[in-house]
Structure 1
Amino acid sequence: MTHTPTSGSTVSGPAWLPGPRRAAWAESVDRLRDAATTEPGRLRIIGAVLALLVLVFGAVTAWQISARSTAARDVATRSEPLSADAAEIYRSLADANTTAAGGFLVSGQEPAAVLRRYQNDVHTAAQLIANAAANSQGSADTQNQVTLLNEQLPVYTGLVETARANNRQGLPLGGAYLRYANDQMNGTLLPTAKKLYQVETGRLHDDYAAAESLPWAAWGLGVIALAGLVWAQRRTYLRTNRVFNPGMLAGTAAAGLALVWLVVGHTWARVDLGDSWDHGGKSLQVLNQARIGSLQARGNENLTLVARGAGAAYEDAYEKGMTTLDGPRGQKGAGGLLSEALSLADDSGGRTPVQQAVDGVAEWRSRHAVANGDDTNGDYDSALAYVIGGKDSSGKEITQTTGQSFDAVDKGLQQAVDHETGEFQQTAGDARDALTGLPEGAAVLAVLAAAGAVLGIGRRLSEYR
């Protein structure tokens, strides 16, 4: 006779059949819970957690400080030098344009020294452009600017050579070609070089930010790991009345040393990086702008005379450039890039050459006023003599020229740039050195701390065997 289950009843298998299988993780949790009910089990868990925590602290420290160390190294050896190279590209192009214009003020064949200076400027710019291309590191902005510079520089030099050829034959067309070359320089080459400088300076700021950013994760993990080690020792003391556990004590000392090294090393590096910017990087940017501004002013001054009575636009550009450089005319100390550079200079080595440039600009403006007055009155020969030297219309030899003043300004600014570069390299190098060995040292100390924690816990576990 068969038995039919009634509605709502359940059918279960024989008692000897196995029940449903439990997940492996559930069984692991049960074993862990059971182990935690005994002191040996709790000690094993504490040891494992402490070792893992200290090792994670070491790994995160090594990772974060390695990134900051690389950024600090790049500030000193890559991004700042590339930013300086970009500024030098701009300066070389501006000086080439100024020199080319100056050569046209001499009748017939331009002096060999002028031609040599022009050629050196073009060669320097070409070399630095190639260097920027080689170090672009996949930057699309840098590659775009470098490509445009490579394409347009031969166009500019071709216009200059055509202008020279016409000038040697005494043809007025030479001045027209020179103005075309100047438009090419100021309309395409210099704006592109300026964009390249801005891109490289942006990379410099990014490297500064990366190097100075606080390693919060490493600091937090270090504090937690150290607190865990101290708690474990206190727990041992309360349960055993033993004041010291050698293994745990060694682990705590290693973790504490790693944390102190991390905080002190990175803080020191941040201070040095701040100094490198405040006492070098910032001044260099202002000085580079001032040097470029003086070159452009000199170029516009020369082109005013090349234009032979049609240079009002160049004269206006000269006045605007000098105002940017040294403030409004007749208002000494009223502002401008040179005043800013003077305020940023923090020692006599930086202040003295800038002050020489300030004095040179004042002298330059005074002599230019005389030359411009002669040009406005139609005395071209006298104006030319005050700009490049020679005899004025009365036959008097002019020995104090605007060209000499410009050279004094450029020399002072170059000396200031060299001084500030040295200060920058010193402090940026100190920042890089402050992080040297920290990633590797933190990793080693973390391993030692983990080993100390495990040995200390192992010593307690041996008492239960």
Structure 2
Amino acid sequence: MTYPPNADPQREGAPDRPGVPVTVPAQRGGVRSVAAERLRAAATTEPGRLQIIGAVLALLVVAFGAVTALEVSGRASAADDVVTRSQPLSADAADVYRSLADADTMAASGFLAGAEEPRDVHEQYETDIKEAARLLVKAAASTDTSSPSGKEITTLNELLPQYTGLVERARANNRQGLPLGGAYLRYANQKMTDELLPAAERLYAAETARFSADSADARRWPFLALGVGVVALAALVWMQRRTYRRTNRVFNHGLLAATAAAAVVLLWLAVGHTVARAELQDAMVHGQESLDVLNKARISSLKARANENLTLVARGAVLTADGTQDRYETDYGTGMKVLDAQLRSAGKLAGDDSLGSEPVARAATGVAEWQERHRAARSTDDQGDYDGALKQIIGPEDSTGESFARVDEALRQALAHEQGEFTTAARSGRGALGGLPVGAAVLAVLGAVAAIAGINRRLSEYR
């Protein structure tokens, strides 16, 4: 049988015949084998080896820059979150707690003053409630509603109107001289103590945990970038040594420039992250820990003041679980012991910093004075002189209220100082990482180009 000149018997369905080759489709493995064979063939000559080494060096330098940029960008973002988001939210959560506790204190103080509540006390109560509501709105705007913080914010928004409603009923009854006002005020305090303040404390704990996680992310060592950088630098040094041994030339300008670029990035990465880590660690230890203790101390003083006022409001109507002691007086004593311990901790954290330790020392002195005046007021009340005891609690001079105001002001100043210390250290830590991602990427590209140029210089000697 004959076929047209360009016909293929296999394509036409003709049977196989001896001596006629059969075309087999190329396999993928064959392509890889050919590439590997060409690579092996290139590696047998010096120009081929130089081309392979140049490609590897350029890839290593670029990989170093890319990994550095990615890892440092993540840490810089976490450091920025510490300064601009998580720590401010943690501070706002603490202020929510403080505002609620202060509002409860002002409500009790105003009630004790009688039917005509002092204007400054009422205005402070209103300011505290508005501030708590404002901070809750601000926190809600930056928080997922399904998160633990979001759930606590929802709870607080639901409970706050209930609390203020009870306080208004207490005021209305108090203005009319009805004893029911005291019951409403005790119920409002119970809602604050058992529901609102625990929810605010959980919110503070959740925001502080998020802040601690961001800080830990920012301080985490970029081990991958450091490892790739060491490998890239070692490879460049090895190549220069190889070039020297084969040509007796001390310098290859391209390889030298690539080595310098890699060394600068590696040194920048190590030093920059070390400085950032140290500053952020300092912000945590000497800033956030002090803020945490001082916030708790201020809240303890507010709760103690509210319990002190409610001791006179209740007049022994609310007892401890065993029925032997006044509940509010017992809670006051417990709170003051906690406050003493917190002030000692704050003093230790302040260390030799006079600007931080001085207001803490004033607060401790004020607490001692407060306790002494409280004992005198309780003695007066136990003798049946309620009006005299009331004057010693809320009077304008030589009263526990005056001592409390001194303690609160000292703690406010200590908090302001520690907040400034934290912000300064955290911003310094964030600044130490600034420019490193972009700088690493640019230097890596320049280093790769320089490495290729250095290798091409060697290749030109074989042409």
TM-score strictly above 0.5: yes
- Which region of structure 1 is more displaced relative to structure 2, 81-90 or 20-29? 20-29
Hey, what's the Cα distance between the residues in 1 that align with 2:439 and 2:215?
Answer: 23
SS, match of residue 303 in structure 1: helix
1:330 alignment partner in structure 2: none
- Give the CA deviation at 1:310: 2.3
- Give the CA deviation at 1:299: 0.2
- Structure 1 36/19 Cα, relative in aligned 2: closer, same or farther at 3 Å? farther
Matched, 1:432 2:430: yes
- Give the CA deviation at 1:13: 6.0
- Give the CA deviation at 1:181: 0.6
Kept after mapping to 1: 8 A contact 2:86/2:208 = yes
- Give the CA deviation at 1:15: 7.0
Hey, what's the Cα distance between the residues in 2 that align with 1:400 and 1:50?
Answer: 79
- Structure 1 240/383 Cα, relative in aligned 2: closer, same or farther at 3 Å? same
- Which region of structure 1 is more displaced relative to structure 2, 234-243 or 292-301? 234-243
CA RMSD of aligned residues (A): 1.4
SS, match of residue 65 in structure 2: helix
Kept after mapping to 2: 8 A contact 1:255/1:446 = yes
1:445 alignment partner in structure 2: 443
2:323 alignment partner in structure 1: none
Kept after mapping to 2: 8 A contact 1:133/1:146 = yes
Match of 1:29 among 28, 33, 36: 36
- The total of aligned residue pairs comes to 438
Hey, what's the Cα distance between the residues in 2 that align with 1:139 and 1:83?
Answer: 18
- Give the CA deviation at 1:25: 1.4
Amino acid at match of 1:236: T
- Which region of structure 1 is more displaced relative to structure 2, 73-82 or 90-99? 73-82
Amino acid at match of 1:184: K
Deviations 1:93-129 (A, max 9, x none): 0000010011111121211111100000000000001
1:337 alignment partner in structure 2: 342
Any residues of structure 2 matched to 1:241-320 within 5 Å, and which?
A: 241-311=248-318, 312-320=326-334
Hey, what's the Cα distance between the residues in 2 that align with 1:114 and 1:298?
Answer: 14
Deviations 1:413-451 (A, max 9, x none): 000001111111111111011000000000111101101
- Give the CA deviation at 1:19: 5.9
Match of 1:141 among 111, 134, 148: 148
2:5 alignment partner in structure 1: none
Hey, what's the Cα distance between the residues in 2 that align with 1:434 and 1:180?
Answer: 53
Hey, what's the Cα distance between the residues in 2 that align with 1:178 and 1:103?
Answer: 11
- Which region of structure 1 is more displaced relative to structure 2, 236-245 or 214-223? 236-245
- Which region of structure 1 is more displaced relative to structure 2, 165-174 or 233-242? 233-242
Any residues of structure 2 matched to 1:391-406 within 5 Å, and which?
A: 399-406=397-404
SS, match of residue 104 in structure 1: helix
Deviations 1:215-273 (A, max 9, x none): 00000000000001111111111111111111111001001100000000000101111
Amino acid at match of 1:362: A
- Give the CA deviation at 1:20: 6.4
Kept after mapping to 2: 8 A contact 1:386/1:402 = yes
SS, match of residue 461 in structure 1: helix
Percent of residue pairs identical: 58
- Give the CA deviation at 1:132: 0.6
Match of 2:366 among 356, 360, 366: 360
- Structure 1 139/56 Cα, relative in aligned 2: closer, same or farther at 3 Å? farther
Amino acid at match of 2:157: N
Amino acid at match of 1:442: A
Question: Structure 2 stretches of 5 or more lacking a match?
Answer: 1-15, 319-325
Matched, 1:374 2:380: yes
2:335 alignment partner in structure 1: 321
Kept after mapping to 2: 8 A contact 1:309/1:375 = no
Hey, what's the Cα distance between the residues in 2 that align with 1:246 and 1:13?
Answer: 64
Matched, 1:113 2:120: yes
- Structure 1 413/443 Cα, relative in aligned 2: closer, same or farther at 3 Å? same
Hey, what's the Cα distance between the residues in 1 that align with 2:327 and 2:250?
Answer: 87
Deviations 1:157-204 (A, max 9, x none): 011111111110001011101111111111111000000000010011
Amino acid at match of 1:338: L
Kept after mapping to 1: 8 A contact 2:144/2:150 = no
Any residues of structure 2 matched to 1:207-218 within 5 Å, and which?
A: 207-218=214-225
Deviations 1:327-370 (A, max 9, x none): xxxxxxxxx00000011113110111101000000000000001
Hey, what's the Cα distance between the residues in 1 that align with 2:447 and 2:161?
Answer: 64
- Structure 1 293/19 Cα, relative in aligned 2: closer, same or farther at 3 Å? same
- Give the CA deviation at 1:376: 2.4
Amino acid at match of 2:450: G
Amino acid at match of 1:67: G
SS, match of residue 31 in structure 1: helix
Kept after mapping to 2: 8 A contact 1:300/1:315 = yes
Hey, what's the Cα distance between the residues in 1 that align with 2:20 and 2:225?
Answer: 57
Hey, what's the Cα distance between the residues in 2 that align with 1:71 and 1:102?
Answer: 44
- Structure 1 30/439 Cα, relative in aligned 2: closer, same or farther at 3 Å? same
- Structure 1 137/222 Cα, relative in aligned 2: closer, same or farther at 3 Å? farther
Hey, what's the Cα distance between the residues in 2 that align with 1:89 and 1:104?
Answer: 23
Matched, 1:152 2:159: yes
Hey, what's the Cα distance between the residues in 2 that align with 1:73 and 1:25?
Answer: 47
Deviations 1:369-397 (A, max 9, x none): 0111222232211111110117xxxxxxx
TM-score (norm 2): 0.92
Kept after mapping to 1: 8 A contact 2:232/2:262 = yes
